[in-house]
Amino acid sequence: MFDKVLIANRGEIALRIERACKELGISTVAVHSTADADAMHVKLADECVCIGPPAASESYLNIPQILAACEITNADAVHPGYGFLAENARFAEILEEHGIAFIGPTSEHIRLMGDKIKAKEKAASLGIPVVPGSEGPVTDDDAAALAEEIGFPVLVKASAGGGGRGMQVARTAEELPVAFATARAEAKAAFGDDTLYMEKYLSHPRHIEIQVIGDGRGQAVHLGERECSLQRRHQKIWEEAPSPALNGDERDAIGATVAQAVAEMGYRGVGTVEFLYEGGEFYFIEMNTRLQVEHPVTEMITGIDLVIEQIRIASGAPLSFCQKDVRYEGHAIECRINAENPSTFMPSPGRITQFHPPGGLGVRMDSGAYAGYTIPAYYDSLIGKLIVHGRTRNDCLMRLRRALGEFVIEGIETTIPLFASLVAEPDIANGAYDIHWLERYLEKP
């Protein structure tokens, strides 16, 4: 096992990783920008190192500074969390070159799955169902013919994309040139790579993802699915497990397919294979080679600590369980509580004057916030994640309603009122929603 882990991240995920390390008896190093000097993960770490000014490009994305922090603290491993450098293949390689373990997949798998075109090709070769679409990059010259072959509407996507950027829908041949030009410009600006591909656009799909974990030696298991269809501008805000749309046979079938594919890849660590689900069929979107923001809902229904498993596997240990050991109990829902206006979604950074998270049986709050803490304006607006668990989905929804009513954050605006309204919606109570539901709801007068 590692002696000391440096956590190359901030906020609630950095604190989450610290807790797992401490339970394993591992010392922790927190890195931070000058804007995060008073952050909870810095206060609770065994050691801390300031790695630069507030801008992420000069701190949390500054590989030389993070490497220097590893060297001066003698850290023998780095956990990247999610975001920032979590899926940067070159970062993983540099650490390996310096004899420092990267708590995550190999750089080869990060690079492979980071290219959406190659990832889709690999998934298809491993027997994972994929969305009908182009078999490689699409050019201006062949876009129209390919779109006609696939059938409108089509979705134009950036090969290096993520977070909904570089994606445009063309519902007719007349809309295709604008969609293509817009997606190309967005991709170039966001990722420095304007390579595009094209898929059939599904009208009313759900977003279902399968949590997997592999030991890098040909063994892998799945931990069921998460429902992530409540999204705004392709950004998830509410996740739950299990999905209200799937039955046990569907869950077992797609889970087994994904676990077998991940095992054949020789994949190491945790990962998530994401699908669109419509009409009883699954269609591969992408594989995220990192710990997901929404991982706690899987932990709540399985009792398996995904971060501890990540660390153990990265240290060379085998999986601590096999597929037959995985049991699902109850239902879990996660709400991402952001420092945003609940109607306009404008960021609301500033000082938290009161902070009282909910508690009680089946309630978990992953957050680094506290009364007196100032939410910086330099990073994403996530304050924390409220996760609740119940014996049934209805029990879970009632517990979520109660927990939201207890939650007090003052001094800034938050999205708590949005979730309080969502939990009262009949469609949410019935699980009758798709990836477009939330945006339709938000457009209502």
Find the catalytic residue in 184, 251, 268, 290.
290
Which ranges of 266-415 does DSSP label H, i.e. alpha helix?
295-302, 306-314, 393-406
Q: Estimate to the nearest angstrom the gap between the alpha carbon of 258 and the chain centroid.
A: 18
* Distance of alpha carbon 253 from alpha carbon 225, whole angstroms: 11
Residue of 92, 130, 9 lying closest to 268 (CA atoms) = 92
The answer to whether residue 290 is catalytic is yes
Q: Is 51 helix (H, G, I), strand (E, B) or coil?
A: strand
99: Cβ contacts below 8 Å, ≥ 6 apart: none
CA-CA distance, 64 to 61, in Å (whole number)?
9
| Cα 75 → chain centroid | 26
Can you list the pairs that 244-251 forms with residues at least 24 positions away whose Cβ atoms lie under 8 Å?
A: 244/393, 244/430, 244/431, 245/206, 245/208, 245/277, 245/431, 246/208, 246/277, 250/280, 251/224, 251/225
286 burial (CB, 10 Å; 0-12 / 13-18 / 19+) is: buried
Catalytic residues: 290
